[in-house]
Amino acid sequence: MSALLSLQSVGKRYRRGTLTNWLLRDVTLLLDPGEVVSVVAMRSQGKTTLLRLAAGITAPDEGRVLLGQEDLGRLSDPAHARVLREQIGWASRGGPGIGVRMHDYVALRLALGGRARRREVRSLTLGALERVGMEHSAGRLWEELSDWERALVEIAQAIAGGPRLLLIDDVIDGLGMGETEEFERLVLAIAQERELGVLMTASDPEATLCSHRVLSLAGGRLTPISEASEQDAANVIDFPHSRRTDVHGARRG
C-alpha cells in the first residue's frame, strides 16, 4: 500500500535581515490511511509550518510533498484549492470568530465546494457534529463554547466533507488530561473508521499517547521519540505504544 501523504526531504527557510535560516530541513515522513502520527514540539519550532507544507499551502524550498501520487507543488491554484476543499481537513484553535453558529461553521466547507445540495449539506453537517457528540450545539455560537467543545467542533468541521487527510494544529493544548485522552481516542476511532490519515501537532507529549507514532520536532528536524536526544527529551517522553521508526520518521517493517 502506498502512503497517503509523503514528505520527501522537505525543507523550509526564512530570512531575517541578511541572514537565511532553515526552519525545517530534510524532513521525511510517510503517513498511511487510518494512521495517526503526532509531532511534539515547543513553540516556534515549525509545527504549523509543517502542517501547511503537508497541505500544500506553503511551498517547500526543497523537497516534495505528495498526497497519494499527486505532487502538491505542481498543482495549479484552482486544482490545489479543490484538493484543499475535498481531500484535506484542517482543525486549529482559531475557530470561525464571534457571531458564527456551529451548524454554519461546520457547513462552510461543503457550501463553498458546491458539491452538495442544501439538504445534503445539512445532513453531513449534523452527522459530523453527532459523530463528535456535539449535535446539541448546532445552533450555539463559538463564543458560547468551552475549550473542550470547541476542540470537538473543530474536528466536526474538518471531517464533514469526507477528507482523506486530517491535519490537527495544537487543538488539544490547554485541555485537561481526561479531555485530552478522550479527544485522542475519538480522533483515532474516526481515523480507523474512515481510513483517514491524521497528522497532529502538540506541545504536550502526554497528549499523544493514543497515536500510532510520535515524533519530536526540534532544530528543524523530525526525530522518533525513542531516538530523541537527551536535550530534546525535555519536550518528549517515551511512548510504548508508538511503532519504531527510522531517523526520518518513515516506517520500519
What would the pLDDT profile of 180-192 be if each residue is shown by its tens digit? 889 999 999 999 9
pLDDT for the residue 230:
40
pLDDT score, position 242: 36
Q: Which residue has the higher pLDDT, 168 or 225?
A: 168
Task: Output the pLDDT for position 9.
Answer: 95
pLDDT at 110: 81
pLDDT per residue as tens digits for the range 35-52: 999 999 888 788 999 999
Residue 19, all three cell numbers: 541572514
- Distance CA(250)–CA(36), nearest Å, equals 13
What pLDDT does residue 197 have? 97
Number of helices and strands in the chain (H, E): 6, 10
The SS3 assignment for 252 reads coil
**How long, in residues, is the chain?**
253
What are the CA-CA distances from residue 243 to residues 26, 198, 205, 212, 226 (Å)? 21, 15, 16, 6, 9
Specify the pLDDT at position 115: 56
* Secondary structure in 3-state letters for 33-79: CCCEEEEECCCCCCHHHHHHHHHCCCCCCEEEEEECCEEHHHCCHHH
pLDDT value of position 225: 78
Q: Domains of the chain: which residue ranges?
A: 1-15+27-87+164-253, 96-162
What is the model's pLDDT at position 58? 94
pLDDT in tens, 108-153: 888 766 556 778 888 999 999 999 999 999 999 999 999 999 999 9
pTM for the whole structure: 0.85
Alpha carbons 35 and 220: distance in angstroms, whole number: 23
Domain 1-15+27-87+164-253, classified CATH 3.40.50.300, yes or no = yes
| Element containing residue 215 per DSSP (H, E) | strand 213-218
pLDDT cut 70: percent of the chain above it: 86
Contact 88, 123 (CB under 8 A): no
Task: Give 244's pLDDT tier (boundaries 50, 70, 90).
Answer: very low
Q: What is the pLDDT of residue 237?
A: 35
